[in-house]
Chains A and B, each alone.
Chain A
Amino acid sequence: MQAKWGKSKSWTVLLSVLIILALVVSACGGSNNKGSSSSPSASASSSSPSSSPSASGEPEPSASESSAPAEKVTIEFWQRSFEETTNKWFKKYVDEFNKSQDQIQIKYTLVPGEAWDQKMKASQAAGKAPEVYTMNYGGIANAAKLGQILPLNDLMDPVKFDDIYDNVKEFITAGGKYYAYPKLVEPSAVLYYRKDLFQAAGLDPEKPPTTWAELLEDAKKLTGKGVFGFSTAQVAGDLGWSSWGLQFGTSGHEALTSDWSKADINNDAYKAVFKFYQDAYQSGVMPKQALAPYPDMKPYGEGKVAMQVNGSWAIGQLRNSYKDKLEKTGIAPMPSQSGDPASATATLGGWTLVVDGKAKHPHQAADFISYLLAGDPAIMIDFFKTSGFSKFSARKSVDEAMKSDPDASKDAWRALIAEKIIPNSKAEPIYPWDVSMAVSTGIESAMKGTSVDKAIEKAEKTINDFIANNKLAGTNPKQ
């Protein structure tokens, strides 16, 4: 008798557990699908059997919230993590924006760079991508083509776009429409060198190298006593984008023909670029293993290299973290093959804000962008100031306003980059990253001992295979 009792008791327990489980699962599913404005589903679940109070208890507060008359829209905003100062700037002005009005609430999320792709893919797969997020220039055309982001022409005041420099306007255009609003431009390659070490090696500290030959020669003289003469990107992932400037400047074209039908790298100019990296690496003036990733100024800041190529952002790092090196540092354009100062050696990278293609509140999302990037110049000037003038404005009005700013106007490095480097820099290519990666894998293999001809041939084949497999020919969105 007792055993029977026990049995039926355990049965009840098992059954009730199953029922509760089923209720919880169905409650979760319901609230997921409907989003925030789901008062019918909430009432449905609260009218279901009262055996599980926890399941029916949850939806109630949200039901009362959504039925409130003042409709405050919450916009999810993801920012890729940049330098500390930039992250703080974003946070500060998101808060200001939220305080400045009561229609839109920005929900701000800072996403680490390494986690960005994964997090973004996961949220897209779940149909929960943020409505506003950061995107670099290189990604815009393709994202626009795939419908991942919305054109902003109808969402923002057209006057805001007239304020953007013409060459930058081109970066954000696809199919005749603007798909992003630019925040900044920054050249990907600037040569930083130690004036004191130049002097010690018998070189003129006011005469930085201008050709590759001079660069390698100087580097040789600077190498020794625990200091490497030269440092630049040396792994494929870094070379992929940091070598774009040299590729353009030397060959006058990108790695693909303009209709994207085949690779355009089996020529003397590209071979020269490969050879430059190979010589730099194999002559022993560079460390054999990267001391830090390309965008990190640490090796120079710690005194381990005498010349380092890095983006303009490194100025910020020097000014914030390596103050002792500031006095001894000179900066110059990255040398080119010929020494012609007009030859491109850098690309202009930079970041924009975009509105997701599936955004539920595109107008409100665009309003936030208008406020932050296209509004009061003081907001942007605050940004350029906190970054130590290591980044450059994409808007005329901001530069205009900066002229009257005492800090900005007397900054010599800012002037040199703005006058000598940015005008000669090219836009980042917009073809898929795989193409750049094929080229840079070729460069890396040439550095590690493959002959230049073989490396070029292999990269060419990889690119052409990629074009065939992905039907890339004729898909250039800019054409």
Chain B
Amino acid sequence: MFKKNFRHDNLAAYAMLTPILLGSTIFIIVPFAYAIYISFYEWGFYQAPVFVGFKNFYVNLTDELFTKAIWTGLKFTLYVLPTQLVLGFLFANLVKGLKGKFASFVKAAIYIPTVIGLILAGVIFLFIYDYLGGLANYVVGWFGLEPIAWLAEVRTALPAITVPAIWTGFGITTLIMLAGLLDISESYYEAAEIEGAGTFGKMRHITLPLMRNIILFLLVTGFTAQISQFELPWVITNGGPVNETATPNFYILQHFLNDVLIGRSIAAALMFFVVLGAISLVIFKVLNSEKAVDG
């Protein structure tokens, strides 16, 4: 009887695992292995593939634009992520103090940009940055300044497209931060107040340490999302001016679409994967994930 049950359970376990194993084999493992395979070939849709060893990787590594694209992706992330986290944190603290209907109104309101989505946000900001009729230059005009070529100037283009990224990501960041804040027991703060801790002290010694896992989560997911940014340069700048806003994914897709032989773009994607993985690993190491103290 015992034995039979045991086998029965095993079967159930395998049956439960099958869909996931099947799914990940079909959609993750096979394509990934195939991508690695293709990256060693000059591979087109109308010709027999030719084995070229590491040539595709070498070509990417020596292409200034590839390294520039990675660098652009990092810069973009560096502009967006900290801004988003700091703004989200401040705003979450603000919302936490609000009460009643007004609180739920604010929570809904800050989430709206996230719902709008990047493509639409891109289009909206394309209008805002219009040289003659745009809102941005209208505001600049109040100060009696010449219109600024937001999207054509090498200096301003990348910062300009970070704004819609911050705008759309801000709501979800704030809400996750808020959830983390609400999880911290009020008794800590009460105890700290009795001990005479100020606002800043409470923030530093209670709030931030207890938010560590939340921040780690936001850092890792945010980093992956931002460095993979593709929609905004695609919609707003088309990678310009002079490739200043060509992010890694933008570069890869451009090559995939334009190149006759696509092995190289696959190789670029794999290399980008390595960069992304390595940096995510560093974030994990530096910000060691720990269980919350109170449990």
Q: How far is the CA of A171 from the CA of B147 in the complex (A)?
A: 44
| Distance of A270 from chain B, by nearest CB (Å) | 18
B251 at the interface (CB under 8 A from A): no
Please tell me which one of the listed residues B15, B47, B129, B132 contacts residue A304 in the complex, with CB atoms under 8 A apart: B132
B13 at the interface (CB under 8 A from A): no
Of chain B, the residue at the smallest CB distance from A123 is: B45
Whether B258 pairs with A234 at a CB distance below 8 angstroms is no
Known A146-B46, A288-B153; contact A14-B15, beta-carbon cutoff 8 A: yes
Of chain B, the residue at the smallest CB distance from A441 is: B242
Of B45, B153, B238, B256, the most chain A CB neighbours within 10 A belong to B45
| Distance of B219 from chain A, by nearest CB (Å) | 32
Whether A237 pairs with B59 at a CB distance below 8 angstroms is no
Please classify how large the interface on chain A is, using the bins under 10, 10 to 19, 20 to 34, 35 or more: 35 or more
A330 at the interface (CB under 8 A from B): no
Q: How far is the CA of A469 from the CA of B261 in the complex (A)?
A: 12
Whether A444 pairs with B241 at a CB distance below 8 angstroms is yes
Determine the chain B residues whose CB is within 8 A of the CB of A147 once the complex forms: 46-47
B260 at the interface (CB under 8 A from A): yes
Q: How far is the CA of A338 from the CA of B126 in the complex (A)?
A: 39
Whether B257 pairs with A236 at a CB distance below 8 angstroms is no
Q: How far is the CA of A135 from the CA of B57 in the complex (A)?
A: 31
B63 at the interface (CB under 8 A from A): yes
Please tell me which one of the listed residues A14, A121, A142, A462 contacts residue B257 in the complex, with CB atoms under 8 A apart: A121
Whether A146 pairs with B152 at a CB distance below 8 angstroms is no
Whether A288 pairs with B147 at a CB distance below 8 angstroms is yes
Q: How far is the CA of A449 from the CA of B244 in the complex (A)?
A: 14
Of chain B, the residue at the smallest CB distance from A114 is: B234
| Distance of B271 from chain A, by nearest CB (Å) | 16
Of B44, B131, B242, B257, the most chain A CB neighbours within 10 A belong to B242
Q: How far is the CA of A14 from the CA of B17 in the complex (A)?
A: 13
Determine the chain B residues whose CB is within 8 A of the CB of A37 once the complex forms: none
A433 at the interface (CB under 8 A from B): yes
30 contacts between A and B (CB under 8 A): A14-B15, A121-B45, A121-B256, A121-B257, A146-B260, A147-B46, A235-B152, A235-B240, A235-B241, A236-B243, A237-B238, A287-B131, A287-B149, A288-B131, A289-B129, A290-B131, A290-B152, A291-B130, A304-B132, A358-B46, A433-B258, A434-B258, A441-B242, A444-B240, A445-B242, A448-B152, A448-B153, A448-B242, A449-B154, A462-B64
For the complex with contacts A288-B131, A290-B152, A291-B130, 16 further pairs of A-B residues with Cβ separation under 8 Å are A117-B257, A117-B258, A121-B45, A236-B240, A236-B241, A288-B152, A288-B153, A289-B129, A289-B131, A289-B151, A432-B260, A433-B258, A444-B240, A448-B153, A448-B241, A448-B242
